[in-house]
Amino acid sequence: MKSSLLFNFSVNKENKTINIQREFNAELELVWKAWTEAELLNQWWAPKPYHIETKSLDLKVGGMWLYAMVSPENEKTWCKADYKEIEPNKLLSWLDAFCDENGIENTLKPRSLWTNLFTEKNGVTLVDIILKHDKLEDIETMIKMGFKEGFEMALSNLDQYIESQFKLRKQNKPNNMARVSTYLNFPGNTEEAFNFYKQVFKSDFINGIKRFDEVPDDHNHPPMDESVKKMVLHVELPILGGHILMGTDAPKEFGMTVNLGNNMHINLEPESREEAKRLFDALSEGGNIEMPIQDMFWGAYFGSCADKFGINWMINYQNQ
């Protein structure tokens, strides 16, 4: 597995373009999904502490991705991407612009034409990105606003969070024996909650509490905020009958928000990919699919949904 991910950033003033090269430690098909599916775009597109809320995404030439950039104060800045060219797993081009919540463009603000080229070599996917602008002043404004730092931070934080969390999960469950657990998300008080559960069930943590500052340093990632370092990355606690209670902090610095309704899932880890698909299809029928079951960056076949009774489920088959 490649330990460093390429991130090149340059400006061509003559052509009025920003040029970016970014590598992903994943196969091309998975990276393409991350750029074209709302559920995945919502996870990484915004630099912290902002997050993305997609209103609609119609992936076709002439279609539009309409989304809001949401601040920690819940202020929304609406943007849209009008798709111009699409070649699955090869080319994705859109015209990016500010707009209102109905997609009506704000012609007083700058816009840019994104052209993204996807190639894969030895399991690593490279995305070549060109942002072409109407005026050089628009590029200068973006640079002053911290576009480079924000874009790099969002990608790197998502890489770091996904890779480390699911690596720890795999260490705690080294085989594909079926298991059922309950997964809890907290806004920053996971340790307090799990110490309470530890006393109630007179049990002890499996492999202790893993924290964000235990993630190995990587010069390709930006420094982690001090407020995040002591948060709980992953913890597991046996309760009754072999049932495992799992938990994590969902840092707002990573663009995550914990609300009643998304703070608890029943986590199913079946023995096979086929059983994972069967369970997901059955549980999601008549309910609400949060994330379609699919191959994910971290090597899992994963999906989440709420069933027709409003109960949240996670299906997670870890590829070996």
State the pLDDT at residue 300.
78
- As a whole number, mean pLDDT of residues 292-313 equals 84
2: pLDDT strictly greater than 70 = no
Q: In this predicted model, what pLDDT tens digit does every residue of 140-157 receive, in sequence order?
A: 888 888 888 888 877 776
- As a whole number, mean pLDDT of residues 25-43 equals 81
% residues pLDDT > 90 (the chain): 39
Structural domain ending residue among the three candidates 145, 173, 206: 145
Does residue 257 contact residue 175 with C-beta atoms inside 8 Å?
no
- As a whole number, mean pLDDT of residues 169-196 equals 80
Q: How far apart are CA 295 and CA 29, in angstroms?
A: 9
Q: In this predicted model, what pLDDT tens digit does every residue of 282-293 receive, in sequence order?
A: 999 999 998 899
Q: Verify that 255 and 302 share a domain, yes or no.
A: yes
What DSSP string runs through 118-147? EEEETTEEEEEEEEEES-HHHHHHHHHTTH
Q: Verify that 215 and 70 share a domain, yes or no.
A: no
Q: Verify that 260 and 116 share a domain, yes or no.
A: no
Q: For residue 151, tell me if it sits in a domain.
A: no
194: pLDDT strictly greater than 70 = yes
Does residue 235 contact residue 248 with C-beta atoms inside 8 Å?
yes
State the pLDDT at residue 250.
82
Does residue 175 contact residue 270 with C-beta atoms inside 8 Å?
no
Six-digit token string for 186: 């907290």
Phi-psi region of 14 (alpha: psi -120 to 50; beta: other; left: phi over 0): alpha
Structural domain ending residue among the three candidates 116, 145, 174: 145
Q: For residue 43, tell me if it sits in a domain.
A: yes
The helix/strand/coil state of 50 is coil
Residue numbers of the domain that contains 34? 7-145
Structural domain ending residue among the three candidates 110, 145, 180: 145
What CATH number has the domain bearing residue 37?
A: 3.30.530.20
State the pLDDT at residue 240.
82
Task: Report the chain's mean pLDDT, rounded to a whole number.
Answer: 84
Closest CA to 207 of 173, 230, 239, 240: 173
Does residue 210 contact residue 216 with C-beta atoms inside 8 Å?
no
Q: In this predicted model, what pLDDT tens digit does every residue of 203-245 receive, in sequence order?
A: 889 888 988 887 655 544 556 677 788 899 889 998 887 788 9
If you compute the radius of gyration of the chain from its CA atoms, what whole number of angstroms results?
A: 21
State the pLDDT at residue 130.
96
Report the 10 Å Cβ neighbour count for 11.
17
Q: Verify that 197 and 287 share a domain, yes or no.
A: yes
User: HSE-up of 159 (CA within 13 Å, CB side)?
Assistant: 24
Across-strand partners of 302?
A: 294, 316
Q: Verify that 165 and 140 share a domain, yes or no.
A: no
